[in-house]
């Protein structure tokens, strides 16, 4: 078996109506379907090349928010463009929506803006750095990130 690509990510959220505006309106992900398979409400988003890239599955009242001290999703990352201006535009959109920024960092591979969704799931918005800095020698991936000012 050979894995060929990442198909999609499904996030469990407490309240779909609370999470939809963040993913659809603030991040601008195109919503392609709403449904309730097996009685649980879901939302599906597609960036156009696949039937869906991200789905949200509603847990319902009483479910706890994302707990960073246990196993699970650490963060979900979305590429927002190819240059620093695209990342600045993303930050302006996040600021305008009143979403708090968790951190802004310079990695070897990316320049990244981190925010939290309504359930505390961390979402990374990023641009790639020059592939020449990491393609042939990816070992710096684990290096400590530096703060970035946008």
pLDDT tens track, the chain, 150 positions? 887 888 999 999 989 999 999 999 999 999 999 998 778 899 999 999 999 999 999 887 777 766 666 667 889 999 999 999 999 999 999 999 999 999 999 988 899 999 999 999 999 999 998 888 777 777 767 677 899 999
The answer to whether residue 17 sits within a structural domain is: yes
Its pTM stands at: 0.86
Same domain, 38 and 99: no
For residue 82, give its domain range: 74-150
The answer to whether residue 65 sits within a structural domain is: no
Which of residues 27, 60, 93 is at a domain's end?
A: 60
Q: What is the pLDDT of residue 130?
A: 85
- Closest residue by Cα to residue 113 from 14, 19, 11, 27: 27
């Amino acid at each position: 078996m050979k894995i060929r690509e990442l198909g999609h990510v499904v996030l469990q959220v407490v309240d779909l109506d609370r999470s939809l505006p963040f993913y659809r309106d603030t991040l601008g992900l195109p919503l392609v379907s709403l449904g309730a398979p097996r009685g649980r409400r879901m939302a599906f988003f597609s960036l156009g090349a696949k039937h869906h890239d991200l789905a949200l599955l509603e847990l319902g009242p009483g479910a706890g928010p994302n707990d960073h001290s246990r196993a699970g999703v650490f963060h979900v990352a979305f590429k927002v463009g190819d240059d620093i201006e695209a990342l600045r535009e993303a930050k302006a959109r996040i600021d305008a929506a009143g979403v708090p920024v968790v951190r802004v960092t310079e990695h070897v591979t990316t320049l990244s803006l981190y925010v939290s969704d309504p359930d505390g799931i961390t979402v990374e918005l990023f641009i790639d750095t020059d592939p020449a800095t990491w393609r042939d020698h990816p070992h710096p991936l684990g290096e400590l990130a530096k703060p970035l000012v946008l």
